[in-house]
Amino acid sequence: MRNEQENRKRFSFSGILSTAKELGISNFQLADITGLSVVLIAQFDRGLIKVNEKLPLDIVTRIGDAINVGTEQLLDNLRLGPRFARDSNFKATDSPTLTESQDFPEAVQQDPTLSPKRREELLALSKGA
């Protein structure tokens, strides 16, 4: 129980991908476990998918279960909104800009790595959200 609480505390600081890495789960494994793509996992990690009625709770639960984080804590982290990728370094004269977050169905539609069947399955989940 204490170990789980420590993992949950660390999560708010390390993010989805970092937490998965700490658990020995690669980005590809996490995508496979959750039924998402690496692209979508990365978007969730960076807060680029909006938490709203179009986001299936089942998707959030899958991610949380895979990295041993409670659904509410994961939702709180996702609500923080867009942020740069962890450990990003920028060497530009202009400040980088953040991409705006988007609805889950929009992210699914724009993901070029999803098969048509997987895209359809994810969009069906969103309709039931």
What's the chain's Rg over C-alpha atoms? 15
> Of the ranges 10-14, 72-76, 106-110, 115-119, which one carries the lowest mean pLDDT score?
10-14
3-class DSSP assignment, residue 49: strand
3-class DSSP assignment, residue 102: strand
> Of the ranges 69-78, 81-90, 97-106, which one carries the lowest mean pLDDT score?
81-90
Look at residue 5 and tell me whether its pLDDT is greater than 60: no
Reported as a pLDDT band with limits 50, 70 and 90, residue 84 is low
Does 62 map to a domain? yes
pLDDT digits (tens, 9 = 90+) for 22-81: 999 999 999 999 999 999 999 999 999 999 999 999 999 999 999 999 999 999 989 988
Per-residue pLDDT, averaged over 101-106, amounts to 95
3-class DSSP assignment, residue 51: coil
pTM, entire model: 0.80
Helical (H) or strand (E) element with 45 = helix 38-45
Output the pLDDT for position 12: 44
Q: Which of the two residues, 85 and 103, has the higher pLDDT score?
A: 103
Reported as a pLDDT band with limits 50, 70 and 90, residue 9 is very low
Residue environment code for 78-114, b if the CB has 16+ CB neighbours within 10 A, otherwise e: beeebeeeeeeeeeeeeeeeeeebbebbebbeebeeb
What CATH number is attached to the domain comprising 16? 1.10.260.40
| Cα distance between residue 74 and residue 88, in whole Å | 22
Does 94 map to a domain? no
Does 12 map to a domain? yes
Domain count, the chain: 1
Give me the domain span that covers residue 22: 2-82+100-127
